[in-house]
Structure 1
Amino acid sequence: MSLQTTPSQTVGPYYRIGLEALYRTQVAPDSALGERVEIAGIVFDGNGLPVSDAMIELWQADAQGIYAHPDDPRHHDHDPAFEGWGRVPTDGDGRFCFSTVKPGRVAGPGGGLQAPHLVALVFMRGLLKAAPTRIYFSDDADLSNDPILSLVPNERRGTLVAQRTTPGCYTWDVRMQGGRETVFFEY
């Protein structure tokens, strides 16, 4: 008996079929407390081309920095209108857009506080598992004190920071590979 190589198993493009009903581009409903923000961008592949069938899953704390999860010690005080997650697809041009509220600061390593951020998981064809990253806000005064962001080399931190374009609007692109590759974390 001879063993032959089998095709590798990747996330896409068929994951879209099972997840499309769960897309949520409004991460925080209008009734959620906090400063409303919109983040838009493009997902680029390793060749710099837009990815038309990617999805970004988002997780975040509410405006008070409380997660809607029982493991958060302050869970009972979280905004009941806010669930803290969303799934956002890219369109035919690789673009995505979602709205939410700016999250509050959450506890970090060593008991300090992290700068407001969203956790983003990028799903797309060719990946064996999601690529985890973060989205910070360019106009946040706490960026320089964030314990996780400080682990990233200074010249690469900008890949994690959404740039404010107008009040309440930010742009943040995802580059899967290349010279300006987005910083991804291991989990």
Structure 2
Amino acid sequence: MLYATASQTVGPYLHIGLAGLDCVDLTADAPELASHRIVIEGRVIDGRGDPVPDGMVEIWQANPAGRYRHPDDQRELRLTAGFTGFGRVPTGPNGEFRFVTVKPGAVPDADGKPEAMQAPHIMVSVFMRGLVKHVATRMYFPDEVAANASDRVLALVPESRRGTLIASDDGSGTLRWNVVLQGDGETVFFDI
């Protein structure tokens, strides 16, 4: 007779075996991107408003030309030497995370039609204790007002909640964006 196994949560030991794979600076091996660097900082906050000190944030993005370093992206756009578009960091004691990267270019919509482009965005996954499965979301850029308005994924989100997906610019070249897991101001998450 077969029995169902118990569900397992992501934590509390999700960092074991992963710490050597952290990548805070996605531009470190891509010197040609030095003048295009941006910093993204934020916090992961739980449903009570408390920081999540033992989580992990992963990002995946296209390069500035809008091309992913992935075998499925066969478009004739230039790849950036040394830029993988993937980053991973653990959250700190106050739930904080920080990435150094570049603003990605627009990518084609899911239907592949070149005239239907997605607004520049970064895909984000969050892992933490108590989650059976990681959560997935996107971070959009505040200076892409027209592109954000025509992005079909962002258009699926109720207008009152779209702001949870758009970073804010503090004017110093650092973008701020928090991930709120539940409650007031909860970040919009997507099924993947």
Say which is worse superposed, 170-179 or 77-86, in terms of deviation.
77-86
Provide the rounded CA distance (Å) in 1 between the counterparts of 2:76 and 2:190: 26
1:171 to 167, 176, 188: 176
Whether the 8 Å contact between 2:142 and 2:166 is mirrored in structure 1 is yes
TM-aligned CA deviation for residue 77 of structure 1: 2.6
Secondary structure of the residue that 2:31 maps to in structure 1?
coil
Q: What's 2:15 paired with?
A: 16
Q: Deviations over 1:29-52 (max 9, x none)?
A: 251437211010110011110000
Provide the rounded CA distance (Å) in 2 between the counterparts of 1:165 and 1:140: 15
Whether the 8 Å contact between 1:32 and 1:101 is mirrored in structure 2 is no
Q: Deviations over 1:74-113 (max 9, x none)?
A: 2773112211101011111111111101000000134210
Q: Aligned residues, how many? A: 184
Q: What's 1:186 paired with?
A: 191
Change (3 A) 1:72 1:180: same
Q: What's 1:123 paired with?
A: 127
Provide the rounded CA distance (Å) in 1 between the counterparts of 2:61 and 2:137: 12
Q: Which runs of 5+ in 1 are unaligned?
A: none
- Give % identity: 48
Q: Which runs of 5+ in 2 are unaligned?
A: none
Q: How large is the Cα RMSD of the aligned pairs?
A: 1.8
Moved beyond 2 Å, runs of 4+:
5-8, 32-35, 74-77
Q: What is the identity, as a one-letter code, of the residue corresponding to 2:188?
A: V
Provide the rounded CA distance (Å) in 1 between the counterparts of 2:82 and 2:106: 18
Whether the 8 Å contact between 1:32 and 1:81 is mirrored in structure 2 is no
Alignment of 1:75-114 (within 5 A): 77-110=78-111, 111=113, 112-114=116-118
